[in-house]
Amino acid sequence: MCSHSHSRVPWLNQNDQGKQLYAKIWNSMWPIESKLNRQFYSFGMETLLKLDLNGSRRFFDAFFDLKPCYWQGFLSSRLNLKELAWLSISLFGHASNPRFDHCNNVPSTIG
């Protein structure tokens, strides 16, 4: 999104100084941790959208089996990057249980 947004503001295309100013403002508004958190949430949504009904049910069973601090923090967007990593590890542990089979439904656009 960032790489194409400046094309909508004509004066930013006119010189490198404008592009640098734009990048500085954008990066001050969106620190790297916020960008990574957003990417994590987007990845999670892409994964959920690829699940069938049974896969979705199994995912949510595993999700709500986690410690409440994880799922409550996730749903309220209060987890920092480290906590999101622990949530992922915990969810993967639950998903690795044979009764949960959504590890095979990871989006192919990872990279």
pTM of the model: 0.59
Structure tokens that stand for 42 in this block:
């987007």
Look at residue 85 and tell me whether its pLDDT is greater than 60. Answer: yes
Radius of gyration of the chain (CA): 18
CB 92 within 8 A of CB 103: yes
Q: How confident is the model at residue 44 (pLDDT cuts 50, 70, 90)?
A: confident
Q: How confident is the model at residue 4 (pLDDT cuts 50, 70, 90)?
A: low
